[in-house]
Amino acid sequence: MADSLSEIRERVNQFVAERDWAQFHTPKNLAMAMIVEAAELVELFQWDTPNESQRLDEVKLEAVRHELADTFVYLLRIAEVLDIDLIAAVNDKVTLNVLKYPAEKVRGSNAKYTHYLEE
C-alpha cells in the first residue's frame, strides 16, 4: 500500500492509466469532477447542525471518509496534469495567509480580510 503523498499520487495515476481515462482528465473536467465529490461531502452535512456534524456515528464517518478520499483523488489528478507540487503550493499559500491574516488582528474572528483592512 502507498504510504506517502507521492506514492498515493502514483497509485492513482496507475489506476487512471490502466483504464485509459487520462484522455478525459483535462483540468476543466477534473475541476468539475472534484466539485461534484466536494458536494457529496456537503450533502452529508446539509441538514446537520454544526454540532451534529462533529458527532458522527460509524456509518456516517465512513461515508465522509469515502467522499473526502474521492475529492482528494481528483485534487491529486489536477496537481498531476498541471505539474503542481501540492506541498509547495500549500506552504506558499500559508506563508501568504500569515501576512494577510495577522494573528493579533484576526484572533477569534472570521471577518474577511477586507473587513479589518478597512479599519
Interface of this chain with a second copy, residues 55 to 114, rule: CB under 8 A: 56, 61, 64-66, 68-73, 75-76, 78-79, 81-82, 84, 86-87, 89-94, 97-98, 101, 103, 106-108, 110
When asked if residue 118 is in the footprint of a second copy (CB under 8 A), the reply is: no
CB of 27 to a second copy, least distance (A): 4
CA dihedral 19, 20, 21, 25 (to 10 degrees): 150
Q: How far apart are the first and last CA of the chain?
A: 52
C-alpha to C-alpha distance for 73 and 65, rounded to whole angstroms: 12
When asked if residue 23 is in the footprint of a second copy (CB under 8 A), the reply is: yes
Size of the site for a second copy (CB under 8 A): 76
Residue 111 identity: A
